[in-house]
Structure 1
């Protein structure tokens, strides 16, 4: 703080080249090698970098889009993150603005860090924006513990495509008012701790079936439809003081004069729609420029960085060609263009550091808040609760897909009701079918993946088993995962279907208490399910 203010007050002393360097936000990786760390320190020093965005590792989803590289986990990564931030700050002439994607907590990028429910879980809450405010506040608290100033959240995309491979669970739902209300609560909670916020992915990444990490999604909606729906949450967050807006890598021809240009590179979308129409005066940050939807379009080093800047992005996230990008910007951009972006970013940095409160001594314990969220989000999505009681009194067999049978859900129920539990992890399909024949079945689903790739990680054999059980038995089903998974199943054949969303222990225990008749299902699914809608994403 003390070494930042003089530089902030004397920003005019920076050269034009140094001001351009401030607009670059290279990726920093928590689990980098010493040589990689030194290379980034050198980049920061030589090019006057203004900000960093932290990711888990070079084998994580941020760079390993095809999932080929093996991700190595590091249980000390939270403390490693703190040390790296301090080290990179020492390398900077002026303090760096540190950012991270912490949509559901630092756990999105960091092992052994606090995790909160996904946005889709929060979307099920009924009139409990106070709890979402607390999520934003707690995550911001944890960011400050590490030295992070800028949480690149919330996602305000309206997820109205069940096959969306990259947004889905990261969205609050399919209703624009619901998405806006909850995103505003999260934003206000974040800002209450002095941490910066970011609405993403403009102009709306919800209605796509292509992952923009891999290819360029094209949204063929009319301008009127987009203004009425997709742009609505962004307009609401801008009016409520969101600090920045991230531009998504998606083509929206109706907003860019019929061109298939990615929004990240579209002057019509950034300078026209976002700046002029929505009157946003804050910082515009690009989505990661290493993503294949745009990076493969510009093989010449630095060209993509220049194109993104020229289109209206103030901050170039995950810029991989800093030197070449700076050279092209200095060559092609007017001084006024550079000064305007620099001023917006410098003001954001000033806001972050002047709002900086004392760093906490530890991260928040999420258990208490997660318990309340589990209680308020549990959603009965099909059937009737009255069908559950006969299972408790008349007997049933428990079957678990995706976890062992000794899970907290079955464990909590077993304290009150005697039953036999089986799992596909330890029993064959034949053994399970023999054990459940002619009996009520309490079926629990724990898909390994939260994204729809490869049927959420569930094998075809297990999908067939679930469908067979639903078709031939009296079933009460509890689902711990992305609710879109149910679209792969004839879930309507169940007597009652309950979505608990998360597999956290407290969510499993709350769901068990619901089965035992001790709590109600208070949530409401924020999306529409239609059996057999989703398709496998290979």
Structure 2
């Protein structure tokens, strides 16, 4: 690092109050920004003593993302660009910056051509093997450190109890509070071993909502007792193990605070998180540009000052840094500024004093293969049909979309059953379906989020439903398990959840298909079709 972090005693004495407030701001920066935008950010960092940055891929993909209407440009050299920008921004800073990113399943969440690990919902399918999740946390932490990132804003500890949840879903370890707690704990342990800072999110619990807080304000209408029984449980337990930070989500909890969302609620941040649960570390906001809160505060700097007054320490994705600093200086109590500054500085001292880890990031392939072997999940409504389908002649049918389908290719190469793609060979399929009663259907959903039926075109979805209704079908799903709920399955349907489309997961799925791998995973959420 080009600059050494000052000890807190020196920083406390040397920095002015305005500079201390600047340390509480974490503006967003983007891999694909223009030179003009980068220069402007360098000036902002220098002039306003900004304390941290959060990296995103591009303005089109970040936070509110304008409902996906802007095209996201692919950049093959994103990783090199990330490292270059970190170096430039650190040089512009008068005190070392904390560099943060959302790397819930690895840097690949934001950066192309970087290691990717399974989504939390996949890890949620593990029935034991917490050491594998610990390894995931360690791998991701090492990847972050190698890139120059100190702070991974993860894991998600929301309990995904609402299948219609548009934004958490696959990012949660499941719908059981105990499973979420144990798996998040293993992930945190692994990340801590790498020296990477963490943040559990989205307090006080974003799992039971059907609203996306990027676009609107979700309402969680539950009493404190109900929240303590479920949503708050993993937060409370993990806080006792001294997590580095807690990220507060944009949620309205009318039974706790009928007027302010959690982002700007002292009843939720100060009274509940600080006083009741006893958290004394850094409280960081979810992105302040998200429509759930940004549209409530049109006056520049007002949202930042209100969130700070409620008890927030770090203001993530603030779009109005100078105005926010001025507003906080005009309205805040000096003692609170000093307290938040001390928390942030202690986090910096921890990040910059951690001894250099000599172990380099490892390739993800071996770990991903182990995870595939231990998460594959059978959902068999009529198991006797499965052996009949596998042992006889069947139609090797797939819905590939943009994924490479090595699974169906392997079936064709090793078992001689030609692969047919439902999206390309529909005319031929009508004739083929007349000749085949048994179908092996491999499905790669176009999207991982449930919006617009996981990206399936209506015609394709209708055809899938038609085949499931008419034939003996064995599904291999390489994606979000909630996608099964829109396919017209019945309780007697047979499906295998593979969760990811990684090559290792496809190869292990084939081993399962030919009987050489037993499915060891357990579905971590409830599906409408497969109710117990």
Q: TM-score, normalised by structure 1?
A: 0.95
**CA, structure 1 residues 47+336, in 2 after alignment: closer, same or farther (shift >3 Å)?**
same
The answer for unaligned runs of 5 or more in structure 2 is none
Range that drifts further, 395-404 or 321-330: 395-404
1:369-392 CA-to-partner distances (Å, cap 9, x unmatched) read 000011100001233555333223
Contact between 1:470 and 1:494, CA under 8 Å: does it hold in 2? no
Tell me by how many angstroms 1:335 deviates: 0.9
Structure 1: distance between partners of 2:359 and 2:49? 29
* Mapping for residues 36-51 of structure 1, pairs under 5 Å: 36-51=37-52
Tell me by how many angstroms 1:9 deviates: 4.5
Structure 2: distance between partners of 1:367 and 1:406? 17
Structure 1: distance between partners of 2:353 and 2:382? 54
- Three-state SS of the structure 2 residue aligned to 1:399 is strand
Q: Name the structure 2 match of 1:488.
A: 486
Q: Name the structure 2 match of 1:136.
A: 137
Contact between 1:264 and 1:308, CA under 8 Å: does it hold in 2? yes
**CA, structure 1 residues 327+414, in 2 after alignment: closer, same or farther (shift >3 Å)?**
same
Q: Name the structure 2 match of 1:226.
A: 227
- Three-state SS of the structure 1 residue aligned to 2:414 is coil
Structure 1: distance between partners of 2:301 and 2:368? 44
- Three-state SS of the structure 2 residue aligned to 1:94 is coil
Structure 2: distance between partners of 1:40 and 1:97? 15
Q: 1:500 aligns with which of 495, 498, 501?
A: 498
- Three-state SS of the structure 1 residue aligned to 2:398 is strand
Q: 1:525 aligns with which of 523, 529, 532?
A: 523
Aligned length: 529
* Mapping for residues 273-422 of structure 1, pairs under 5 Å: 273-358=272-357, 363-383=361-381, 385-403=383-401, 407-422=405-420
- Three-state SS of the structure 2 residue aligned to 1:75 is coil
Structure 2: distance between partners of 1:309 and 1:347? 18
1:28-60 CA-to-partner distances (Å, cap 9, x unmatched) read 111111010000000000000000000001111
Structure 2: distance between partners of 1:123 and 1:406? 25
Structure 2: distance between partners of 1:196 and 1:163? 31
Contact between 2:408 and 2:442, CA under 8 Å: does it hold in 1? no
Tell me by how many angstroms 1:8 deviates: 4.0
* Mapping for residues 123-202 of structure 1, pairs under 5 Å: 123-202=124-203
Q: Name the structure 2 match of 1:13.
A: 14
Structure 1: distance between partners of 2:404 and 2:100? 39
1:239-275 CA-to-partner distances (Å, cap 9, x unmatched) read 222110000001011222xx14110110000001100
Structure 2: distance between partners of 1:470 and 1:353? 56
**CA, structure 1 residues 283+492, in 2 after alignment: closer, same or farther (shift >3 Å)?**
same
> Is 1:122 the counterpart of 2:120 in the alignment?
no
- Three-state SS of the structure 1 residue aligned to 2:194 is coil
Structure 2: distance between partners of 1:9 and 1:21? 18
Structure 2: distance between partners of 1:518 and 1:448? 29
Contact between 2:130 and 2:183, CA under 8 Å: does it hold in 1? yes
RMSD (CA atoms): 1.7
Contact between 2:396 and 2:411, CA under 8 Å: does it hold in 1? no
Tell me by how many angstroms 1:426 deviates: 1.8
**CA, structure 1 residues 150+405, in 2 after alignment: closer, same or farther (shift >3 Å)?**
closer
Q: Name the structure 1 match of 2:444.
A: 446
Contact between 2:249 and 2:263, CA under 8 Å: does it hold in 1? yes
Structure 2: distance between partners of 1:351 and 1:260? 37
- Three-state SS of the structure 2 residue aligned to 1:272 is helix
Contact between 1:98 and 1:147, CA under 8 Å: does it hold in 2? yes
Q: Name the structure 2 match of 1:24.
A: 25
Range that drifts further, 145-154 or 484-493: 484-493
Tell me by how many angstroms 1:183 deviates: 0.3
Structure 2: distance between partners of 1:308 and 1:480? 40
**CA, structure 1 residues 222+474, in 2 after alignment: closer, same or farther (shift >3 Å)?**
same
Contact between 2:412 and 2:418, CA under 8 Å: does it hold in 1? no
Structure 2: distance between partners of 1:417 and 1:131? 33
**CA, structure 1 residues 13+405, in 2 after alignment: closer, same or farther (shift >3 Å)?**
closer
The answer for unaligned runs of 5 or more in structure 1 is 534-538
**CA, structure 1 residues 311+521, in 2 after alignment: closer, same or farther (shift >3 Å)?**
same
Contact between 1:218 and 1:260, CA under 8 Å: does it hold in 2? no
Contact between 2:284 and 2:315, CA under 8 Å: does it hold in 1? yes
**CA, structure 1 residues 495+167, in 2 after alignment: closer, same or farther (shift >3 Å)?**
closer
Q: Which ranges of 4 or more aligned residues in structure 1 deviate by more than 6 Å?
A: none
> Is 1:3 the counterpart of 2:7 in the alignment?
no
Structure 1: distance between partners of 2:302 and 2:278? 28
**CA, structure 1 residues 71+44, in 2 after alignment: closer, same or farther (shift >3 Å)?**
same
